[in-house]
Amino acid sequence: MVYSLTWLPDVLEAAGLKVAECTGWRTRGRGDVGTIRGVICHHTAGAQQGVMPSLNTLINGRAATAQTKPLTGLLAQLGLARDGTYFVVAAGRANHAGAGRWQGIESGNTSFIGIEAENTGINEPWTEVQLDAYCRGVAAILKHIGASENMVCGHKEFALPQGRKVDPTLDMDTFREKVGQILRGKAQLRPSIPSSDSSGRATLRRGAKGELVRQVQFTIGITKDGYFGPNTEATVREFQRHHALVPDGIVGPKTWSELLKISATPTAQSKTAPAVIEGKFKPDQACIDLIKKYESCKLTAYPDPGSGGEPWTIGWGSTGPDINKETKWTQEECDQRFDSDLIHYGNQVVALLGSAETSAAQFGALTSFAYNAGLHALEESTLLRKHKAGNFEGAAEEFARWIYGSGKKLPGLIRRREEEASLYRSGKIE
């Protein structure tokens, strides 16, 4: 079922904000919302590193630990990353409010949109770009529903009894004042990224398609499918970090300028997109067998189980703009695409690992994980962070957290993660 808040990305994009739609978000929710009256602001209390490390938790919740109670997903409709990107998580109702009241309204989950902004909540300063996006996003939503700035509150203000919640770590009176200024057209806003550079090259972001996207993909050394999806965005972020740019995953004028320098220097491409290293960092047969066991091979395209439509998938789990519900491939075409995709994923996992000590088995397990969950998921995961820190057993335990689909534990994912963890543990650092 498609839920009611399908207008969210359009409203946010119209306000000049960066938006990334999560797979299956239109049909995700714990039932539908009612009439939306306002917005409740939260912070994630998540990990210190990464752009949006709490994204999986927002969708699927988390298990209990010695220090925390279990949380049942879905935890918000929107996640706000540290770089100002809005992740659209769901169009339905979320478990974000709990018992409370604001402006006489007690039906928090039904009547308010929840925004979880990435912040540890422990003395972490709010960056200018994230706070600006927070205010602008809230203002855009309130304008859409015809409400004033008085209809945004912090979770700490809504929750009862008073003191039950402390998020977000913002002065909400100041926050509301800024939102009100935006609504009345009196605020000084951060300049938006121009729609093109001085030569007319369009600014590209997630969802873009076409020849310019292929040009970018060629320059950063990934598969040229012409679709600016999560994998392209993750690689663009890495490119931007290497070139002292804001790693927002958007190809605007400044990023175009650096890309064109790379394009003009034939030998420079290898610096930003290393080839798969033969031997140690090459997906081996154990990795290939694991992926093929759980992906299986389909010669006719099938829809995403979460959305019931895009992204359409064929072969050994291949997706892209060239694949739709009419697509049919031969076995040879499926195998060729799998070989190409595996090289692509291997390249990107190499880039994410950097100089971290990694065995062939660990590399194979991480590549299988990325092939299934996505490169962006690996990039922002505690799994990768623990691996790069040398906490290999802690990393192995993280595989078991990624077993949910649409908020439910999936037996197939449970088995796959167990095998990936087993493969990961089988490797020893020489």
Integer Cα distance of 59 and 401 in angstroms: 12
CA R_g for the chain = 22
Residue 12 CA, chain-centre distance (Å), reads 16
> How distant is the alpha carbon of residue 362 from its chain centre?
23
Distance CA 366, CA 388 (A): 12
The SS3 call for residue 66 is: coil
Q: Render the burial of 347-374: b for 16+ CB within 10 Å, e for the rest.
A: bbbbbbbeeeebbbbbbbbbbbbbbbbb
- Closest among 42, 60, 40, 36 to 110, alpha carbons compared: 36
d(CA 126, CA 363): 35
The question of whether 116 is a catalytic residue gets the answer no
If DSSP codes are grouped into helix, strand and coil, which group holds residue 241?
A: helix
Looking from the CA of 281 toward its CB, the CA atoms found within 13 Å total 20
Return the closest-CA partner of residue 339 out of 365, 323, 315, 364. Answer: 315
What pairing do the DSSP bridges indicate for beta strands 38-43 and 152-154?
parallel
φ, ψ of residue 186 in degrees (nearest 5): -110, 0
At residue 72, φ and ψ (nearest 5 deg) are: -90, 120
Catalytic residue among 116, 233, 238, 295: 295
Nearest 10 degrees: Cα torsion 26, 32, 34, 37: -50
DSSP 86-124: EEE--SS--S---SB-BTTB--HHHHEEEEEE---SSSP
Residues annotated as part of the active site: 295
